[in-house]
Amino acid sequence: MLIDVKIPEVGESVTEGVLAVWLQEDGATVRAGEALFELETDKVTMTVPAEVGGRLQQLAAEGDVVKVGQTVARLDTDQAADAPEPVEAPEAPVTPKPAREAEATGEGPPIAAASGPAQAAEKLASDEPPLLSPAVRRLIEEHGLDASTISGTGKHGRLTKGDILKHLESRKPATALATAPPRQVEVSSSSTDAIRETRIRMSRLRSRIAERLVQVQQNAAILSTFNEVDMSAVIAFRSRHKDSFEKKFDVRLGFMSFFVKAAVDALKTVPQLNARIEGDEIVQQHYHDIGVAVGTEQGLVVPVIRDADQMSFAEIEKRIGEFAVKARERRLGLDDLTGGSFTISNGGIYGSLLSTPILNPPQSGILGMHRIQKRPVVTPDEQIVIRPMMYLALSYDHRIVDGAQAVTFLKRIVECVEDPERMLLEV
């Protein structure tokens, strides 16, 4: 029985995406729940699993733009992994490649996977290279590479696009040194020119990020204000309680939960930062859904901690940990990413000392955290001491937030972080 594999619905506003990469070979036998392919949309990258087990027949190629509900493959359930093998197999059947792939490579139809122990052992012992995806084959042909000399990190040693790009990157210096004669300015070798540049199609997520960043710069009056916070109290507080905290709640006590709590406190103090503009109206939001920016291989995503004002430190840390795992495994859904009334971005994990974050529309504010660095500071009693300091940046929409309100908000963040007990007592 043939079962259609269709592009699933991933949100009301998402009507199409890109079939980024097949995770199973055409003709492979897969089990129910096994990942078939990665789908890139303008909001999220996700893996699509097989609903039933069977032999896979691909109907779309990597890089194809696909519509929601479109059939991109079929699964033959009669060839499921748990189906009994035929008693007699006098001749291995021939399975034609999809027309698109056969036309692109100029190859004839490949021989289907051999059945039976003897044939399987013979195939494993052969020197036949694993099948290459269209995207990988295109890169190999463009750069004149030998696929057999490149180690694959994909399933069963399959070459991935990342393997090819990493190989090209590693051979750049050696190629330049070997091909460029001394004191020669002009290089005419077309193969050398090809290695100097690599063109990669922008993903749907990256394209959408670029579009939104340009849009917010054009439609909002963005201004930034800065302050610095002494992290001594939070570091000492965390050192005193981190072991007992982790033992009781089975989660590490990080810095982000302190800033989420401080942001909620500051938003209650200056509610203009928790509002948004719709047309000629200001919409005041009486909930506190805090977005936490997370960097992924595909780009920046902002999962949202719902009702952060009603959550404990442990609940916040657990939610952040769940988001980190989902982001690594590409399991973030639209429900995780939509909404949010305010955003926190931590550039400090990458070593940033100071930056100006860009608003996440339609929000009116975003807090930028940065690297903790020991610096000399002057205390209120005019003593010069060394303290672990962090620069904070608040970018805000000046159409709805005045400068005095922005400064008040950021000062409240500093007060909460420098005296964390006040957040526990809510004073």
Q: Which of 143, 309, 398, 419 is the catalytic position?
A: 398
In the beta sheet, which residues pair with residue 57?
A: 74
Complete DSSP assignment for 256-293? HHHHHHHHHHHHHHSGGGGEEEETTEEEE--S--EEE-
Residue 204: other Cβ atoms inside 10 A: 23
Please confirm, yes or no, whether 336 is among the known catalytic residues. Answer: no
Q: Which residues contact 377 (CB under 8 A, 6 or more apart)?
A: 230, 384, 385, 386, 387, 389
CB contact at 8 A, 221 and 398: yes
Please confirm, yes or no, whether 143 is among the known catalytic residues. Answer: no
CB contact at 8 A, 64 and 19: yes
Task: Provide the token pair at 98.
Answer: 């999809």
User: What are the angstrom distances between the C-alpha of 167 and each of 141, 152, 172, 245, 413?
Assistant: 14, 10, 9, 45, 46
Q: Cα separation of 393 and 388, whole Å?
A: 17
Sheet holding 65-67, edge to edge: 45-49, 35-40, 16-22, 65-67
CB contact at 8 A, 21 and 37: yes
> Which positions are annotated as active-site residues?
398, 402
